[in-house]
Each structure stands twice: as C-alpha cells, then as structure tokens.
Chains A and B, each alone.
Chain A
Amino acid sequence: AQSVTQLDSQVPVFEEAPVELRCNYSSSVSVYLFWYVQYPNQGLQLLLKYLSGSTLVKGINGFEAEFNKSQTSFHLRKPSVHISDTAEYFCAVSVAGGYQKVTFGIGTKLQVIP
C-alpha cells in the first residue's frame, strides 16, 4: 500500500517570499504523484502531476514540484507567493500504470501574510 506524509500542517509565509511544501511518499512500486489545492468550501483543483519523464514538473499558478526517487519526495515550490495562494494543499500518490486508487496526505495549510 502507498502512503503520503506531509510534514507541515501549517506554513505561514510573507507575501512575495518563496515557499516549499514538503511531501514524502512510501511505495514498493512505481507511482504517480499529484498536488492538489483546495480553497475554503471548495473541491480540489489539480496543480500539477508527475507521471514519468522529467523530474521537474511545472503546474498552474506558478507552482512547480520535483520528483526525487532516492528521497521519495515530491516537494512543491513557488518562488514568490501571493495572498491568493492561501489555501490547503494536498499531496497524493497512486500506483503507476493506468487508473489506480489515489491516497492523499493530510494537507498543508499555506497562510500568506500581507
């Protein structure tokens, strides 16, 4: 079975500062990795995903993530955050190869301070 660990439950950061949200996963097989964002009282929106190929993945809203197989990590980064980035961010993993069930981390609340 796969599991996801998001090490930080909350991350406060000043506006225009860089941010990194950490995600580690555990799996005995190849995986797909995802980052989703959830704004208050809304569903989840896909930010980016890693399926194969280049380990640096660029997503929407200026976010990017790097897949590191040796460290089993998929940290999310943004060089300069905006107030509108305040939201809950979820890292997720599924077994690679066609459709598989997705396992979510507990989420990290990004709080951008003006």
Chain B
Amino acid sequence: GAVVSQHPSRVICKSGTSVKIECRSLDFQATTMFWYRQFPKKSLMLMATSNEGSKATYEQGVEKDKFLINHASLTLSTLTVTSAHPEDSSFYICSATPGQEETQYFGPGTRLLVL
C-alpha cells in the first residue's frame, strides 16, 4: 500500500518552455502532497506543501510564479515549471501523506533537463 507515482520519469525540454510533472497517490487519498528538489549529491529541499483544494504553501526562496502547484483532487498534484531555464535542471520528487498520518510516501522522482 501507499504507492505514489510520478510522470514523466524523465523530461528534456528547451529553455523557455514549460514542463508539467504529475504526482499521483495510487491507493490512498492524499490530503497533503509535497514537492522537493534534489541537487546532485545533496539532500532534499522542500519547495512547497500542497493541500487539496487550496493554494500551495511555498518555502522561502521558492518562486511561486515559476513553480506552479495545483492539487485539484485527493490523488493528484501537479508541478509546472514555467519558462524553464538550464538552472532549473534537477531531480524533482513528490511525496504524499494519507490523512493525518505522519509518514510521507515518496514518488520515484522526475529528472528534468533544460537545454
């Protein structure tokens, strides 16, 4: 149980284009989802917390207009990297929490490469 999927697993795009990454909880309802960014050989940096039906809460230093997060249902959250630039290249990982449970379940990650 508690499986989280991400799509796509890998994406290459041109600078200036937008990329959408989907995060789905497959066997539970996720009232809260999280988006992380992981740089090479670094830990996970929380970008934002997404609650179903409300606006995401962004961490300090994360541009909300650049990283658009939508949590339209209890099983789906999307992260859109708008006007992507090479410095946005990274490994993006989402996680989800069922209800009030304290454990986060992670997706497999999405490798974004912006050329």
Contact = CB atoms under 8 A, between A and B. Distances in A.
A43 B107 contact: yes
A42 B109 CA distance: 6
Nearest to B107: A43
Given A98-B100, A99-B32, A43 B43 contact: no
A38 to B, nearest CB: 9
Contacts of B108: 42-43
Interface residues of A, number: 22
B42 A49 contact: no
Interface of A: 32, 34, 36, 41-46, 49, 51, 90, 94, 98-102, 104-107
Contacts of A44: 44, 93, 95, 106
B93 A43 contact: yes
Contacts of B109: 41-43
Contacts of B103: 34, 46, 49
A100 B44 contact: no
Contacts of B97: 99
Contacts of B4: 43
A46 B105 contact: yes
B78 to A, nearest CB: 17
Interface in B73-115: 91, 93, 95, 97, 100-109, 111
Contact of B46 (A42, A51, A90, A101): A101
B106 A107 contact: no
A43 B106 CA distance: 6
A47 B6 CA distance: 20
Contacts of A34: 103
